[in-house]
């Protein structure tokens, strides 16, 4: 590779939130470390950033990526970094996910007043979360919690927890993705990491998608150096389940894949669930198979869940 190729600056489109800029800068630094190419962050405002409406009312979390993709297609930027769970499952033919870097811990985290855990919160405690998946699963635990849908960035959400910022708040706790808190250096506020047996994560939670134009071979090659094979296989399996269920990012669908050593080498262990929004019913399932079959495994598990009534639960939740 010539020196001029390496030193040409890459323009990275990013949302303006602190979390988006933090994870975009981390990817920019990784690109420079791996390739020597300098990276410039280009802030882009999305429809999801402009609106205060709930995610479900906006049509799902895809609203956070449309403006970034438009900038990519227009040539205004060379790449974009997305929280992978925000991406629609339908592919965009002119764009490609050139890299899935190492994944953060995908579990959900509780941030509660007085250092309380989920089981220690009293019946009637107000717990805020922005995701229908979390709302449904928290209600399904049968703890008598008052689960409140909320919007806003990480700091805004945590600011609503009573006593957390030294001021009064209207919530006893919030549930957030551990990955975001980790990237912001705020794991100190976590009072409990939620076991996936209780609250299964969203498909691709904790993973980043580094996207560029399919026709841009130079950028694809540079970004490919950040690829984590295990992370890619896990998110492919999880999102294949979501796609086969024909569910959007805001549906109460959970999926979590892990890589474990099997008798014939590394294997994927994929779990998924669909929960009624009122928590009254849930269908769960799991499947195991080789990493190269990630998409096939995801679709097969979705078929099993549909056979057991998942579509009816999603219809009730919509």
- Taking 50 as the threshold, does the pLDDT of residue 57 lie above it? no
| pLDDT tens per residue across span 268-296 | 999 999 999 999 999 999 999 999 999 99
Q: What does each C-alpha distance from 269 to 32, 105, 113, 288 come to in angstroms?
A: 34, 16, 35, 5
Average pLDDT over residues 221-246: 96
| pLDDT tens per residue across span 112-128 | 999 999 999 999 999 99
- Taking 50 as the threshold, does the pLDDT of residue 51 lie above it? no
Average pLDDT over residues 209-231: 97
Residue 53: what pLDDT? 46
- Taking 50 as the threshold, does the pLDDT of residue 229 lie above it? yes
Residue 316: what pLDDT? 65
Residue 59: what pLDDT? 47
- Taking 50 as the threshold, does the pLDDT of residue 168 lie above it? yes
Q: What does each C-alpha distance from 295 to 150, 171, 291 come to in angstroms?
A: 32, 39, 9
Residue 249: what pLDDT? 60
Rounded Cα distance between 123 and 153, Å, is 27
What is the set of domains in the chain, with CATH numbers? 3-101+207-227 (3.40.190.10), 108-193 (3.40.190.10), 235-317 (3.30.160.40)
Residues designated catalytic: 86
Residue 46: what pLDDT? 61
Residue 167: what pLDDT? 65
Mean pLDDT of the chain: 90
Three-class SS of 169-229: CCECEEEEEHHHHHHCCCHHHCCEECCCCCCCCCCCCCCEEEEEECCCHHHHHHHHHHCCH
Residue predicted with more confidence, 311 or 97: 97
- Taking 90 as the threshold, does the pLDDT of residue 185 lie above it? yes
Average pLDDT over residues 92-116: 96
Residue 54: what pLDDT? 45
Residue 315 binned pLDDT confidence (cut-offs 50, 70, 90)? confident
Average pLDDT over residues 299-309: 96
- Taking 50 as the threshold, does the pLDDT of residue 50 lie above it? no
Residue 275: what pLDDT? 95
Secondary structure of residue 261 in the 3-state scheme: strand
Strands (E), the chain: 10-14, 39-43, 79-83, 95-99, 108-112, 126-129, 146-149, 173-177, 192-193, 208-213, 253-262, 265-275, 282-290
- Taking 90 as the threshold, does the pLDDT of residue 161 lie above it? yes
Average pLDDT over residues 249-254: 81
Percent of residues, the chain, with pLDDT higher than 90: 77
Average pLDDT over residues 106-111: 98
Residue 7: what pLDDT? 62
Residue 171: what pLDDT? 96
Token pair listed for 241: 């389940």
Count of CB atoms within 10 A of residue 83's CB?
Answer: 24
Note if the pTM is more than 0.85. yes
């Amino acid at each position: 590779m010539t020196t001029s190729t390496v030193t040409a600056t890459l323009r990275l489109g990013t949302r303006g939130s602190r979390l988006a800029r933090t994870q975009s800068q981390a990817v920019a630094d990784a690109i420079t470390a791996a390739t020597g190419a300098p990276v410039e962050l280009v802030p882009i405002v999305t429809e999801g950033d402009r609106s205060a409406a709930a995610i479900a009312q906006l049509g799902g979390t895809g609203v956070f990526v449309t403006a970034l993709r438009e900038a990519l297609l227009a040539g205004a930027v060379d790449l974009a970094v997305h929280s992978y769970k925000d991406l629609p499952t339908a592919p965009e033919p002119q764009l490609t996910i050139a890299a899935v870097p190492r994944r953060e811990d995908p579990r959900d985290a509780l941030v509660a007043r007085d250092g309380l855990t989920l089981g220690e919160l009293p019946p009637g405690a107000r717990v805020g979360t922005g995701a229908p998946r979390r709302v449904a699963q928290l209600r399904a635990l049968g703890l008598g919690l008052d689960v409140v849908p909320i919007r806003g960035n990480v700091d805004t959400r945590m600011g609503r927890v009573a006593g957390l910022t030294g001021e009064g708040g209207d919530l006893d706790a919030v549930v957030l993705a551990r990955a975001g808190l980790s990237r912001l250096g705020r794991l100190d506020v976590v009072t409990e990491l939620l076991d996936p047996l209780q609250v299964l994560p969203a498909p691709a939670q904790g993973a980043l998608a580094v996207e560029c134009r399919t026709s841009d071979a130079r950028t694809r090659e540079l970004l490919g150096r950040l690829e984590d094979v295990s992370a890619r296989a896990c998110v492919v399996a999880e999102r294949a389940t979501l796609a086969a269920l024909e569910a959007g990012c805001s549906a109460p669908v959970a999926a979590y894949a892990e890589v474990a050593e099997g008798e014939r080498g590394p294997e994927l262990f994929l779990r998924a669930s669909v929960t009624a929004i009122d928590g009254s019913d849930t269908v769960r399932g799991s499947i195991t198979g080789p990493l190269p079959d990630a998409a096939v495994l995801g679709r097969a598990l979705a078929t099993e869940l549909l056979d057991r009534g998942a579509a009816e639960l999603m219809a009730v939740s919509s």
